[in-house]
């Protein structure tokens, strides 16, 4: 067996969700929303399932969806993308995998930032890439010139960045992205920009795609996910957008991972991407309301939260909340003794983990959040005086 995969432990997400199910705990761990998906997108896909083709669609995605992706980014992000730059995949996860496979050769150095989304490193390693790990530092989790100076080397071939960032809930500012772009250009590196959370940003922020920065369109692969955009994480429809020659290589990798993605879901997503911008504003407002309700509730229960600029996660600082144990200890006891599941942030590190922060998901119905807040308060009493 290949130890890269054979030796991967059960993820913390499965472990915590399993415990939450078994113990009937409130699950604020795994990041799936329990409200807010658009019925008309589901109906469009249902109609396509019954009335449309159920055979292999075109390998790079149905024309309607590839066009819709281009139109969507022109309207929402002022990003000009040509249809032949778009490869439709089975979720953001596959877009990431196909992109890494298209770029990384044995021995290539790949820069990855911790906390790191869990799919990146095994695929980089399977391609023979050599990961170089850098870390964002709490509580601000900023991209700084110093961090980039010590992380990039003359051998950096690819840098993988996630913005907005799961789990730290940052939407990186334009100043930070400019620093990153300058480093990519200086080192002639390609950027794989995981932007699956692009629509979930708060407080009037606009998502800035990395590809829109000067000099970056020709060296950036942008990854998107309909599962995130429409709050339907089970759909697994995503895409990679790359400069044309790179898009061809990404498509060639995609061809032998899944080949295609269900055509009916692609039709639903094509329809959804064309919805009025007001739909996306309303979605953000709903998540912002859940965020504000949850942040007020956990603050009243004595927890100290870090700012939430994007995504539907919040990071909680344990010592600042008067809790003097590490994140794993807190999460294990919280789920067993107080009936609430959270994710320890150390799970997102491979080296030098941060061990004093929790990740909680607030994309839940009001009653789930209320129960979660009550149980978190009980969990805090297990540790705080």
Whole-number Cα distances in Å, 123 to 72, 95, 104, 240, 244 = 29, 12, 10, 16, 23
Question: Shortest CA distance to 61 belongs to which of 81, 42, 96, 86?
Answer: 86
Task: Say how far apart CA 375 and CA 364 lie, in whole Å.
Answer: 15
Which of 117, 152, 280, 287 contacts ligand PMP by CB under 6 A? 117
| Least Cβ distance, residue 167 to ligand PMP (angstroms) | 8
Task: Say how far apart CA 325 and CA 337 lie, in whole Å.
Answer: 15
| Least Cβ distance, residue 381 to ligand PMP (angstroms) | 31
Which of 115, 227, 263, 339 contacts ligand PMP by CB under 6 A? 227
Verify binding: residue 92, ligand PMP, rule CB under 6 A: yes
Which of 77, 114, 166, 321 contacts ligand PMP by CB under 6 A? 166
Task: Say how far apart CA 332 and CA 340 lie, in whole Å.
Answer: 10
| Least Cβ distance, residue 11 to ligand PMP (angstroms) | 11
For residue 151, the SS3 value is helix
- Nearer to ligand PMP (CB atom), residue 31 or residue 209: 31
Which range binds ligand PMP by CB under 6 A, 99-107, 141-149, 177-185, 230-238? 230-238
Which range binds ligand PMP by CB under 6 A, 44-52, 86-94, 205-213, 295-303? 86-94
Which of 29, 31, 57, 262 contacts ligand PMP by CB under 6 A? 31
- Nearer to ligand PMP (CB atom), residue 323 or residue 361: 361
Task: Say how far apart CA 235 and CA 266 lie, in whole Å.
Answer: 9
Task: Say how far apart CA 344 and CA 26 lie, in whole Å.
Answer: 16
Q: What is the DSSP letter of 160?
A: E
Burial class (CB in 10 A: 0-12, 13-18, 19+), 173: middle
- Nearer to ligand PMP (CB atom), residue 117 or residue 152: 117
Task: Say how far apart CA 122 and CA 18 lie, in whole Å.
Answer: 23
Which of 110, 168, 179, 196 contacts ligand PMP by CB under 6 A? 196
Verify binding: residue 115, ligand PMP, rule CB under 6 A: no
Task: Say how far apart CA 63 and CA 9 lie, in whole Å.
Answer: 39
Verify binding: residue 238, ligand PMP, rule CB under 6 A: yes
| Least Cβ distance, residue 322 to ligand PMP (angstroms) | 30
Verify binding: residue 93, ligand PMP, rule CB under 6 A: yes
- Output the residue with the shortest Cβ distance to ligand PMP: 91
- Nearer to ligand PMP (CB atom), residue 77 or residue 162: 162
Task: Say how far apart CA 56 and CA 27 lie, in whole Å.
Answer: 37
Which range binds ligand PMP by CB under 6 A, 64-72, 90-98, 266-274, 279-287? 90-98
Verify binding: residue 194, ligand PMP, rule CB under 6 A: yes
| Least Cβ distance, residue 72 to ligand PMP (angstroms) | 16
Verify binding: residue 344, ligand PMP, rule CB under 6 A: no
Own/partner pairs, 134-139, CB within 8 angstroms, 24+ separation: 135/349, 135/351, 135/352, 135/354, 136/165, 136/168, 136/170, 138/168, 138/306, 138/315, 138/317, 138/354, 138/356, 138/357, 139/306, 139/317
# of chain residues touching ligand PMP (CB under 6 A): 14
Contacting positions for ligand PMP (CB under 6 A): 31, 91-93, 117, 162, 166, 194, 196, 225, 227, 233, 236, 238
């Amino acid at each position: 067996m290949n130890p890269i995969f054979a030796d991967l432990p059960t993820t913390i997400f499965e472990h915590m969700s399993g415990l939450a199910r078994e113990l009937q705990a409130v699950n604020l761990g795994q990041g799936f929303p329990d409200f807010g998906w658009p019925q008309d997108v589901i109906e469009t896909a249902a109609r396509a399932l019954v009335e449309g083709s159920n055979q292999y669609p075109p390998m790079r995605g149905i024309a309607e969806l590839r066009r819709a992706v281009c139109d969507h980014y022109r309207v929402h992000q002022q990003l000009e993308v040509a249809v032949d730059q778009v490869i439709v995949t089975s979720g953001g996860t596959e877009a990431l995998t196909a992109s890494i496979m298209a770029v990384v050769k044995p021995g290539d150095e790949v820069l990855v930032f911790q906390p790191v989304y869990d799919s990146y490193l095994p695929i980089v390693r399977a391609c023979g890439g050599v990961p170089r790990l850098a870390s964002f530092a709490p509580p601000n989790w900023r991209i700084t010139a110093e961090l980039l100076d010590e992380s990039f080397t003359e051998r950096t071939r690819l840098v993988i960045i996630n913005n907005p960032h799961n789990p730290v809930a940052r939407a990186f500012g334009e100043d930070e992205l400019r620093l990153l772009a300058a480093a990519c250009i200086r080192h002639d590196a390609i950027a794989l920009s995981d932007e699956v959370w692009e629509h979930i940003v708060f407080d009037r922020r606009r998502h800035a795609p990395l590809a829109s920065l000067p000099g970056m369109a020709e060296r950036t692969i942008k990854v998107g996910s309909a599962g995130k955009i429409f709050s339907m994480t089970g759909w697994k429809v995503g895409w990679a957008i790359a400069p044309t020659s790179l898009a061809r290589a990404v498509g060639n990798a995609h061809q032998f991972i899944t080949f295609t993605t269900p055509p009916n879901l692609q039709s639903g997503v094509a329809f959804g991407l064309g919805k009025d911008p007001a739909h996306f504003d309303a979605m953000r407002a709903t998540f912002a309301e859940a965020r504000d309700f949850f942040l007020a509730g956990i603050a009243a229960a004595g927890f100290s939260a870090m700012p939430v600029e994007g995504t539907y996660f919040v990071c909680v600082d344990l010592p600042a909340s008067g809790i003097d144990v590490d994140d794993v200890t807190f999460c294990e006891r919280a789920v067993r003794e107080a009936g609430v599941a959270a994710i320890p942030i150390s799970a997102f590190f491979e080296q030098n983990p941060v061990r004093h922060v929790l990740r909680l998901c607030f994309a839940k119905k009001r009653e789930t959040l209320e129960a979660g807040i009550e149980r978190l308060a009980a969990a805090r009493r297990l540790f705080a005086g």
